Amino acid sequence: MKKTESLVVLALLLALLLLECGARMFETSLSKDVAHIRSLPAEAARLRQAPAGTLKVLILGNSLARCGLDRALLARGLEAASRRPVAVSVMHPDGSRVEEWRHGYRRYFDQTGSRP
């Protein structure tokens, strides 16, 4: 390889490395989905730590569930119907299907003892 070709390859590798570092540093601010997935352990802990007698509800879905679900309204309605406190958690990765929901439920909720 010629010296100029080596410099071009080195420059490309450096550019890719910088892009990768930037993407990793700012990924949560670039994507609602990444931020949501990173919040799932906290959602699971909230369900797990809910007081005894609390109705624990987990909504599994995709971006349609994120956009179409009023969590506070659902909680109020369930509290009125069940006459007990309600803890509502959601897991809604964009573009996901049942297979991803099952995996996410097992990983973040079932294996941690956070069963709704």
User: How sure is the predictor about 106, in pLDDT bands with cuts at 50, 70 and 90?
Assistant: very high
Identity of the amino acid at 74: L
pTM to 2 decimals?
A: 0.71
By CB atoms closer than 10 A (0-12, 13-18, 19+), residue 93 is: buried
Q: What is the pLDDT of residue 28?
A: 61
Section 47-62 average pLDDT: 94
Instruction: Give the tens place of pLDDT for each residue, 62-90.
Output: 988 888 889 999 999 999 999 999 999 99
Q: Is the pLDDT of residue 29 over 80?
A: no
Tell me, what's the pLDDT at 88? 94
Tell whether the model's pLDDT for residue 26 goes beyond 80.
no
* % of the chain with per-residue pLDDT over 70: 96
Distances from the Cα of 44 to the Cα of 54, 100, 105, 106, 111, angstroms: 14, 16, 9, 11, 10
